[in-house]
Structure 1
Amino acid sequence: MKRIPTALDLSALPGELRTLCENAPVFDSSCSKEAQVWLVQKEGGLYLKKAAGGSLAREAKMDAFFAEKGLGPQVLFYREGKEKESSDWLLTKAAGGEDCTHALYVNDPKRLAETMGTLLRSLHEQDGCGCPCLDVRTDCLETVRTNYESGRFDMTLFRERCTFATPQEAFAYAVRNASALEKNTLLHGDYCLPNIMLENWDFRAFIDLGNGGLGDRHADLFWGAWTLNFNLHTDAYRDRFFDAYGRDKVEEEKLRLIEAMEIFL
């Protein structure tokens, strides 16, 4: 996980956070253009995230839900930006440990793939009762339609394994088969190595849960296989991941359906 020493502009923070962040070492941990993330070295470690107004509402809810189950870090503060120019702010406790891109884990890829599989199966066996986000499938399909109609898509992310020749083919496949996806499994929503925290191989937390909710297990299975290929620069551990999860639960047709949808997400 990236940690670059930086200075935090306290005047830009909500009043409730200024004293908390005052006189504390701060590190930039941002990894996307959609959000800024800082590690604040205070009270055992805090993560502060800033993003466009309204964009962290779902993540705050899912973070809190996972925290109640002992699967994610505690949410300490959330404020939604009400105006168009304002920002969302989300503060959580640091989970402890390191994410799965750490050398300890990527240098033992067989064990990493197996750990990814067993952790995901354990998550998917959790009771989703009370989950604040009930239908990931419908939410995703609406976004797929919107982005297809506006010409927003990216087929390069899956180019090594992409099974669709054109975005039109992918969209048609997604719309035609979307009803096959279930909505009865508690999903992480972005099941990638940077979003799984371990401490000497012991599970600590799932983080970055803004795409989580109830949906079809194959969404997480797809991204688990993708991240092993992307981060390890080989697809050699895909089968080991699926075997650790439970090969009897993996349907290749549904993985292809998730691929078709993700091109537009």
Structure 2
Amino acid sequence: MPADPLHLPDSLRRTLPAARWERVTLGKSGAGVWRSTKYVVKVQGRGGSPVSTLLQERERLRWFAGRLPAPQVVGYEVTTGHEYLAMTRVPGIPMSDPDATLHPQRVVDLLARALRELHALPIRDCPFRMTLDVTLRLAREQVEAGTVDEADFDEERRGRTAVSVFNELARTRPDAEDLVVTHGDPCLPNLIVSGEHVEGLIDLGRAGIADRHADLALAWRSVRDILDEGWAERLLDLYGRDLVDRGKIGYFMLLDELF
């Protein structure tokens, strides 16, 4: 990954105005992120991950335009070693920001509302599939390539191997999927808020048609870790308990260990 400062390819330097770029360290997307007052640039090594390339994120951002609030694509470029994605900066702060988490009721209310609106989009219109046949294949490729960070497993799975996690996923795969349009990684840093509104969804490289619990599991875990378990349970109440399968919450948290 290029070191600070940000060095843009010529095509993007012609597209973006001259600006002072600040490195963003929040998040675990696998890409380097820089921002100015109006724009964000993500940089990712080519061939680094089959799970979420910046080209995939560009296509998803274009699809979300006019459907839900998200950054607008400004430019995309590929060099010998890297991908670059330039987009507009969403005004506001991440839900994980200390100023946001001072108001946990507002955070979980806005998160539940955003997930319900996202999951209500017609799946017939969405060209991206992240169903289990896709994600389990990707997970297996990650395991076989040795790219899973076993040291980053959740506490309840510390000491396990990626192979054992994958074998459990294969053995306990749900019989059916409750398919909706999903974000793919709706943790609190990936929703930008301002006051009483969600201004934008970011890091959409894994968005697509999947079981709604792929989102609910990661949102529940993020709220539990940043706020507490009581607020995580409140999130499920606000989303709609009749739609929640606790077994699937656990399954998709397990699946995320391999990404």
Bin of the TM-score, shorter chain as denominator length: 0.7 to 0.9
Structure 1 residue 71, shift from structure 2 partner: 2.4
Measured against aligned partners, the alpha-carbon deviations of 1:108-147 in whole angstroms (never above 9, x if no partner) come to 1133122211211111011233323123322210122233
CA contact (8 A) 2:130 2:206 kept: no
Deviation beyond 6 Å, 4+ runs, structure 1: 163-166
What TM-score do you get using the length of structure 1 for normalisation? 0.83
d(CA) in 2 for partners of 1:129, 1:195? 25
1:109 is aligned with what amino acid?
Answer: P
Unpaired runs of 5+ residues, structure 2, are 48-52
User: What SS does structure 1 have at the residue aligned with 2:35?
Assistant: strand
Residue 183 of structure 2: aligned partner:
188
1:262 is aligned with what amino acid?
Answer: D
Residue 144 (structure 1) aligned with residue 139 (structure 2) = yes
Residue 117 (structure 1) aligned with residue 125 (structure 2) = no
Residue 67 of structure 1: aligned partner:
65
Inter-CA distance 68–240: structure 2 relative to 1 (3 Å threshold): same
Structure 1 residue 22, shift from structure 2 partner: 5.2
Residue 257 (structure 1) aligned with residue 251 (structure 2) = yes
Residue 240 of structure 2: aligned partner:
246
CA contact (8 A) 1:64 1:74 kept: yes
Structure 1 residue 153, shift from structure 2 partner: 5.3
d(CA) in 2 for partners of 1:95, 1:130? 25
Inter-CA distance 132–30: structure 2 relative to 1 (3 Å threshold): farther
User: What SS does structure 1 have at the residue aligned with 2:75?
Assistant: strand
1:140 is aligned with what amino acid?
Answer: T
Structure 1 residue 88, shift from structure 2 partner: 0.7
Inter-CA distance 163–201: structure 2 relative to 1 (3 Å threshold): farther
Residue 169 of structure 2: aligned partner:
174
Inter-CA distance 77–129: structure 2 relative to 1 (3 Å threshold): farther
d(CA) in 2 for partners of 1:219, 1:117? 14
Inter-CA distance 144–17: structure 2 relative to 1 (3 Å threshold): closer
d(CA) in 2 for partners of 1:165, 1:23? 48
CA contact (8 A) 2:130 2:207 kept: no
Inter-CA distance 163–239: structure 2 relative to 1 (3 Å threshold): farther
- The correspondence of residues 1-265 of structure 1 with structure 2, limited to 5 A, is 7-9=5-7, 13-21=8-16, 23-31=18-26, 32=28, 34-41=30-37, 45-53=38-46, 55-81=53-79, 85-149=80-144, 152=148, 154=150, 156-159=152-155, 170-178=165-173, 180-182=175-177, 184-232=179-227, 234-265=228-259
Name whichever of 21-30 and 209-218 sits farther off. 21-30
d(CA) in 2 for partners of 1:156, 1:51? 21
Residue 3 of structure 1: aligned partner:
none
2:154 is aligned with what amino acid?
Answer: F
d(CA) in 1 for partners of 2:189, 2:89? 14
Name whichever of 248-257 and 140-149 sits farther off. 140-149
CA contact (8 A) 1:62 1:132 kept: no
d(CA) in 1 for partners of 2:59, 2:82? 17
2:42 is aligned with what amino acid?
Answer: K
CA contact (8 A) 2:190 2:203 kept: yes
CA contact (8 A) 2:101 2:107 kept: yes
Q: How many residues align?
A: 249
How large is the RMSD of aligned CA atoms in angstroms? 2.5
Structure 1 residue 208, shift from structure 2 partner: 0.3
Inter-CA distance 118–16: structure 2 relative to 1 (3 Å threshold): same
Structure 1 residue 179, shift from structure 2 partner: 5.0
Residue 50 of structure 2: aligned partner:
none
1:50 is aligned with what amino acid?
Answer: V
CA contact (8 A) 2:128 2:209 kept: yes
User: What SS does structure 1 have at the residue aligned with 2:40?
Assistant: strand
